[in-house]
Amino acid sequence: MQTRKLGQGGLEVSAIGLGCMGLSYGYGPATDKTQAIALIRTAFERGVTLFDTAEAYGPFVNEELLGEALAPFRDGVVIATKFGFAGGKVESGLDSRPENIRQVADAALMRLKTDRIDLFYQHRVDPDVPIEEAAGTVKDLIGEGKVGHFGLSEAGAQTIRRAHAVQPVAALQSEYSLWWRETEAEILPTLEELGIGFVPFSPLGKGFLTGAINADTRFDQSDFRNIVPRFSSSARKANQTLVDLLGEIAAAKAVTPAQIALAWLLAQKPWIVPIPGTTRLPRLAENIGAADVTLTPGDLAAIADVLARVAVQGDRYPAHLQARVGR
Domains observed in the chain: 3-205+261-293 (3.20.20.100)
- SS3 at position 112: coil
Q: What is the pLDDT of residue 6?
A: 98
Q: What is the pLDDT of residue 171?
A: 99
Q: What is the pLDDT of residue 250?
A: 97
Q: What is the pLDDT of residue 84?
A: 98
- SS3 at position 274: coil
In terms of DSSP bridges, do strands 169-175 and 3-6 run parallel, antiparallel, or are they unpaired?
unpaired
- Among residues 19, 8, 17, 91, the alpha carbon closest in space to that of 47 is found at 17
Cβ of 323: how many Cβ atoms within 10 Å? 12
Q: What is the pLDDT of residue 177?
A: 98
Distant-in-sequence, close-in-space partners of 197: CB < 8 Å, separation ≥ 6: 4, 5, 6, 7, 11, 170, 171, 172, 191, 271, 272, 273
176 is catalytic: no
Instruction: Report if pTM > 0.95.
Output: yes
pLDDT tens-digit series, residues 76-135: 999 999 999 999 999 999 999 999 999 999 999 999 999 999 999 999 999 999 999 999
- Among residues 210, 160, 211, the alpha carbon closest in space to that of 189 is found at 160
Q: What is the pLDDT of residue 308?
A: 95
In angstroms, the Cα distances linking 265 to 261, 276, 280 are: 7, 11, 22
Q: What is the pLDDT of residue 60?
A: 97
- Collect the ranges in the chain with pLDDT lower than 50: none
- SS3 at position 191: helix
Q: What is the pLDDT of residue 209?
A: 97
Q: What is the pLDDT of residue 150?
A: 99
Torsion of CA 58, 61, 66, 68, to 10 degrees: -170
Q: Which of 57, 121, 176, 317 is catalytic?
A: 57
Measured distance between the N- and C-terminal CA atoms of the chain, rounded to whole angstroms = 34
- SS3 at position 251: helix
